[in-house]
Structure formats: C-alpha cells, structure tokens
C-alpha cells in the first residue's frame, strides 16, 4: 500500500462493561473507525459506551438477539467494508489484547507479506509463563487439531482473537458460511486457506487479569472436534481431489487402505489364535506387518506433502 490505508477496529462486546471504555481509549490514532458491536449484552455494554464515550471514531451497532462472537465480528466486518476500510482488526472487549501492538499486527499486511495476521501468545517464554496452566494445555491441543483441519501447519495459537485482515481478502470470503460462535477463529483459518490467502503469526503477548472467559470446556470437548473433522474432510476433498490431483492424492487413500487392512487382519488373527489356541502362521504375520507399515509410510508421505504445501 503506497498511501495510508483506512483502518477499522471491530470490538464484539458481551459482558465486558467494566473493560470496554478502557479498550476503546487504548486504540491509537492509526485507526480511523472503532466499530463496537453489542451482541445483545445483558450488561448493556453498547449503551454504556454511548453514554460515556467521547471518541468520534466510535460506531455502535446493537444486535437484538445474541449471535455469538463470530456473528458480532461479521457484523462489524460488513460495516467496515461499507465504510471503505482496507484493513479490519478484531480486538476483544475484555482488555486482554494490547492495542498498542496494532501497528505490529498490520505491518505484514502493509508490506504485502500477508493477507491475514493473528497474534501468537506462545512466541515469547515470558508471555507463556503468565498464562493459566489449563489454558496452555488447551491451546496446545487445539493448535495441533487446527493444523490438521485448516492445513495451515505453520500457524500457532489458533484461538487467538487478535487478528487483522485485508479488505480485499475479506471480500473473497463467504461470511455466511463462517461459524458464528467460538469456533469462529478456527473456521476463519480454514476458509482463508481454501482461498489460498497468506496467513501469518505475529508475536503478541496477552494481558491477563481477573476476567473470566465465556468459552466453556464442554464446548471445546464436544463441539470443536466434530467441526474440525468436518473442515478436515472438506479441505482434503477440495485441495487434493477437486482442485488438483497429484501423488499425495493417491498416497492418502492407499495408505489408509493398507494400514486399515493390516490392523483388521492382525486383530482377526490375534482373536482367532486366542479362541482356537493356535499360533498365527508366519506368512500372515508378515502380511500384517508389511501392509500396516507400508500404509503408515504412505500416510506420513502425505502429511509431509501437506505441511510443505502450507509453507508454499
């Protein structure tokens, strides 16, 4: 970008009345619009901003019914596009994100190195030490699963909500298909990879206080796995069978077939031997081992191709 782009910050607000004014006041002059989306907040955070805010950049949008953090962000994105913004930044209203780092977040977009950037709280050890231990473990698990489902093997901390996106990239996304709830960030990464957008992490530490997260463990355990599995199957189908067909397209199904055959035959032979008290024939054991190991090798070759494809 040769001239200063128009920048908007989108802040979804839900039960953040005590923090929202502080967050707004921390946004620097590099931002042209601050779009506050009150997602039917029971604390009336939007009204609180209207009554006590003096910043002329602030635009308040209210949802009559709660749509979830993703729904609120999408509403803010749409308004930013209507205003002609070229970069949209998502900042949570709970004060955990350091707005002074906005320049760091959007610099890869300004220099045309990225289309979408996101914070990474795990880059600096000092930042990790401040994180609650349960949150560290949860993020590590979600990161590993998200790498599989999105195909973005080079990213970390996928649930980090401190993000920035290029306006032209946002226009290419079908926002109606992106999850409205807490799966929003992960679903965004999946959709961005499908359009081959350039996604990169930016080391940005979080600020932890006494605030409580609205994300519940049961959502992560019961809702996220099914959605990640759905996205993974879609990504594999789109990337390796609809848009292209290469050696990796053969390696995955053949690997699954061979390793599955080896496991089933091995299990059957073991159970049969236990029931009949007979030893499994050497030829059968060799067939089991060769099938399983050959299949495993093909699956590993596919994963190697998939990770290298992410880097490209």
pLDDT digits (tens, 9 = 90+) for 285-301: 999 999 999 999 999 99
Residues 121 and 226 in one domain: yes
Q: pTM for the full model?
A: 0.86
Q: Is residue 216 over pLDDT 70?
A: no
Across 32-56, average pLDDT: 93
Residue 302, in any domain of the structure: yes
Task: Looking at the structure, tell me whether residues 93 and 232 fall in a common domain.
Answer: yes
Report, as an integer, the average pLDDT of 161-182.
Answer: 94
Residue 1 lies in a domain: no
* pLDDT score at 218: 58
Cβ of 177: how many Cβ atoms within 10 Å? 9
For residue 87, count CB atoms less than 10 angstroms from its CB and return exposed for 0-12, middle for 13-18, buried for 19 or more. Answer: buried
- Domain-ending residue, one of 239, 268, 295: 239
If you average pLDDT over residues 122-148, what whole number do you get?
78
Q: Do 108 and 167 lie in a common domain? A: yes
96 with 199, same domain: the answer is yes
* 134 within some domain: yes
Average pLDDT, the chain: 89
Q: Which domain holds residue 262?
A: 246-311
Q: Are strands 58-62 and 116-120 parallel, antiparallel or unpaired?
A: unpaired
What's the pLDDT score for residue 215?
55
Domain co-membership, 235 together with 258: no
165 and 41: one domain? yes
Whether 225 and 283 share a structural domain:
no
Same domain, 147 and 14: yes
Share of the chain above pLDDT 70, in %: 92
Confidence of residue 277 (pLDDT cuts 50, 70, 90): confident
Average the pLDDT over 49-54 and give the result. Answer: 92
- pLDDT tens-place string over residues 58-111: 999 999 999 999 999 999 999 999 999 999 999 999 888 889 899 999 999 999
Under the banding of pLDDT at 50, 70 and 90, the label for residue 232 is very high
The last residue of a domain, from among 239, 258, 285: 239
Q: What is the pLDDT of residue 223?
A: 78
Contact 269, 282 (CB under 8 A): no
For residue 2, tell me if it sits in a domain: no
Mean pLDDT value of segment 223-228: 88
Report the CATH number that the domain containing residue 115 is assigned in CATH.
3.90.550.10
**Per-residue pLDDT at 91:** 95
The reply to whether 208 and 70 lie within a common domain is yes
Structure tokens at 19: 């923090």
State the total domains in the chain: 2
The residue out of 239, 267, 293 marking a domain boundary is 239
Examine the domain organization and report whether 148 and 18 are in the same domain: yes
């Amino acid at each position: 970008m040769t001239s200063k782009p128009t920048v908007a910050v989108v802040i979804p607000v839900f039960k953040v009345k005590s923090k929202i004014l502080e967050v707004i006041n921390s946004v620097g002059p590099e931002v042209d619009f601050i779009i506050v989306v009150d997602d039917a907040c029971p604390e009336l955070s939007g009204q609180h901003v209207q009554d006590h805010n003096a910043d002329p950049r602030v635009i308040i949008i209210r949802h009559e019914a709660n749509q979830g953090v993703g729904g609120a962000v999408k509403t803010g994105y749409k308004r930013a596009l209507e205003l002609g913004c070229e970069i949209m930044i998502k900042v949570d209203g709970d004060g955990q994100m350091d707005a002074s780092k906005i320049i760091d977040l959007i610099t890869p977009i300004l220099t045309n190195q990225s289309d979408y950037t996101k914070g990474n709280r795990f880059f600096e050890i000092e930042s990790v030490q401040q994180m609650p231990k349960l949150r560290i473990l949860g993020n590590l698990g979600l990161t590993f699963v998200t790498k599989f489902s999105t195909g973005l093997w080079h990213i970390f901390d996928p649930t980090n909500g401190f993000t920035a996106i290029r306006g032209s990239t946002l226009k290419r996304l079908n926002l109606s298909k992106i999850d409205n709830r807490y799966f929003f960030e992960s679903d965004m990464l999946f959709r961005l990879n499908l359009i081959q957008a350039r996604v990169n992490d930016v080391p940005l530490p979080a600020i932890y206080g006494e605030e409580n997260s609205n994300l519940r463990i049961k959502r992560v355990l019961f809702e996220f796995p099914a959605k990640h599995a759905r996205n993974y199957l879609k990504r594999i189908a789109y990337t390796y069978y609809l848009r292209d067909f290469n050696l990796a397209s053969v390696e995955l199904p053949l690997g699954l077939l061979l390793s599955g055959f080896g496991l089933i035959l091995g299990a059957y032979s073991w159970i049969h031997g236990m029931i009949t008290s007979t030893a499994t024939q050497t030829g059968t054991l060799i067939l089991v081992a060769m099938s399983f190991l050959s299949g495993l090798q093909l699956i590993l070759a596919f994963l190697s191709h998939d990770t290298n494809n992410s880097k490209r």
